[in-house]
Amino acid sequence: MAQVIEWVNPGEDEIIWRYPNEVIKWGAQLIVHEYEVAVFMRDGKIYDVLGPGRHTLTTQNLPLLYRLVGGSNSPFKATVIFVSMKQFQGRYGGETQTRELAPVKYYGVYWFKVADPVLFITEVVGGQSLYDTADVTKFIRAYFNEGMMKHLSAYSIVDLFQNLDMVSTQVKVKLMEDFRRLGLELVDVKIEGVNTTDEWRQRLFWIMQTGNAQAVMQMDTAKQVAAELGKSEGAAIGTGMVVMPQLLQQPAQPAQPAQPYAGGGVPPAGYQQPAQQAGQEICPYCGKPIPAGARFCPYCGHEIKRCPNGHVVPEGAKFCPVCGAKIE
């Protein structure tokens, strides 16, 4: 019975398969299905490559191997690797840092296929000695992730959160080049999500409020930024347009004009002890979330009154609604 070399019923996610018998006879039947390529290797080197079809192995269609075995018609040793040319989907996820060293988590999906089986076998399968699909898939995912980490770290946190579409497009182009080097075609990449820590989210909030990333980055915490903004004349309504463009959208209420704060004065008591609950507080005047410890609301410009323990108290209150402390 003639030897038959065939990848029988490859699974949906199978990229490569190695024919287990390394002794090949001339006259053997090689069956290569649609979207497959059969690659003949020996000692880590690629010799002949055959595309889809039913082939009887002869000295004609395996000229390189025939020359290698010295023109002998006796059985020879070779590794036959089938490569699937279909499209595959992979999921990725990881952590990196932005240009300002802000920690960022990301995840998504990518689609790829083998474009150049000889390069792919040379770089990945033979080069890394990965002869089964699970190992190859793991290698490709790690390679993708490494590239994603590297390319994302070239961007600022503002770009990542405000211009994710632009970042995705640019990163995709770079990853496509990386993949081409492995004989793979990166068909598409989707970034499904990016995230950062609470601290950086708060900084981001302030960067978006002030439009001044550099100033915010020089501060140790977002709270300091809030204090700085409170000190600046721009924090007062009317002159706030330069520092806080958002104020333009909120006309000043004539009944309760915000008091301009000249700066240099004594900060309100309790400022050094911010509210107990972490994260954001609510402005009692406009109801929007403001950073903990803020002295002026970035939306309505109203000064935020606090009890000696740092809780936000409504205008005119004689006692703190949270801790009961007397308001001077």
**With helix as H, strand as E and coil as C, how does 242-262 read?**
CCCHHHHHCCCCCCCCCCCCC
Stretch that binds Zn ion, among 65-73, 75-83, 155-163, 279-287 (CB under 5 A): 279-287
How near is the Cβ of 286 to Zn ion at its closest, in Å? 3
What is the DSSP secondary structure assignment for residue 311, as one 8-state letter? -
Q: Tell me, residue by residue from 280 to 309, as one string, x for binding to Zn ion by CB under 5 A and - for no binding.
A: ---x-xx----------x-xx------x-x
How near is the Cβ of 278 to Zn ion at its closest, in Å? 16
Burial class (CB in 10 A: 0-12, 13-18, 19+), 316: exposed
In the complex with Zn ion, the residue whose CB is nearer, 126 or 240, is 240
In the complex with Zn ion, the residue whose CB is nearer, 126 or 301, is 301
CA dist 201 and 295 (Å) reads 19
In the complex with Zn ion, the residue whose CB is nearer, 60 or 249, is 249
By DSSP bridging, strand 53-56 and strand 23-24 are unpaired
Stretch that binds Zn ion, among 31-39, 50-58, 211-219, 315-323 (CB under 5 A): 315-323
CA dist 64 and 48 (Å) reads 6
Per-residue tokens: 141: 């995912």
Q: Tell me, residue by residue from 96 to 135, as one string, x for binding to Zn ion by CB under 5 A and - for no binding.
A: ----------------------------------------
In the complex with Zn ion, the residue whose CB is nearer, 50 or 325, is 325
Long-range contacts of 206-214 (CB under 8 A, 24+ apart): 206/291, 207/157, 207/158, 208/158, 208/162, 209/244, 209/246, 209/298, 210/243, 210/244, 211/245, 213/156, 213/158
For residues 302 and 308, is the Cβ–Cβ distance under 8 A? Answer: no
CA dist 290 and 294 (Å) reads 7
How near is the Cβ of 274 to Zn ion at its closest, in Å? 11
User: Is residue 208 at the binding interface for Zn ion, with CB under 5 A as the rule?
Assistant: no
User: Is residue 322 at the binding interface for Zn ion, with CB under 5 A as the rule?
Assistant: yes
User: Is residue 311 at the binding interface for Zn ion, with CB under 5 A as the rule?
Assistant: yes
How near is the Cβ of 186 to Zn ion at its closest, in Å? 47
For residues 200 and 96, is the Cβ–Cβ distance under 8 A? Answer: no
How many amino acids of this chain bind Zn ion (CB under 5 A)? Answer: 13
How near is the Cβ of 98 to Zn ion at its closest, in Å? 30
How near is the Cβ of 236 to Zn ion at its closest, in Å? 14
C-alpha 66 chain-centroid distance = 49
In the complex with Zn ion, the residue whose CB is nearer, 126 or 230, is 230
Per-residue tokens: 207: 């960067």
Stretch that binds Zn ion, among 32-40, 72-80, 154-162, 277-285 (CB under 5 A): 277-285
User: Is residue 323 at the binding interface for Zn ion, with CB under 5 A as the rule?
Assistant: yes
In the complex with Zn ion, the residue whose CB is nearer, 47 or 299, is 299
C-alpha 222 chain-centroid distance = 24
How near is the Cβ of 85 to Zn ion at its closest, in Å? 60
**Inter-CA distances, 32 with 35, 132, 136, Å:** 8, 18, 21
In the complex with Zn ion, the residue whose CB is nearer, 108 or 308, is 308
CA dist 322 and 328 (Å) reads 16
In the complex with Zn ion, the residue whose CB is nearer, 264 or 316, is 316
Residues making contact with Zn ion (CB under 5 A): 283, 285-286, 297, 299-300, 307, 309, 311, 320, 322-323, 325
